[in-house]
Amino acid sequence: MPAIKSIDFSDGIKLIKANGTVVEFPLSQITAYNGTKEELEALATTTLQEFFEVRFRLNSYEADHRVRQDPPVLRENERIDGNWIVISTMFLAVHIFNFPVTATSDYTIRCSRYPITGDWWL
């Protein structure tokens, strides 16, 4: 799992990786969102998750490789996206407690090396 140096909620969600890379989902984007709570959670999660994914073209694997079988044999951190295999190096999930969001205490995030399921924020 990639090392996270810190998580900052002062102006949205900011993850600072150990290598200094900053991954952000700004508060202005959170508070201005016009969709549903669930849609905002999905958007924030997906936006942040992309920074912890590696993509490889499926045709770069041998024809008999497990990811090119029909159906593909995937590990829990792998998924097929069109002609790509996407490997997650860390899983993220954002949960919003109060919607619409008016304060930084209205949401939280979880980072894990395993898929995140269920009501993890309870």
pLDDT at 1 over 60: no
pTM of the full predicted structure?
A: 0.85
Q: Which residues pair with 8 in a beta bridge?
A: 14
Higher-pLDDT residue of 3 and 110 is 110
Mean of pLDDT values over 66-75:
96
pLDDT at 69 over 80: yes
Mean of pLDDT values over 68-81:
95
d(CA 20, CA 45): 20
pLDDT at 67 over 60: yes
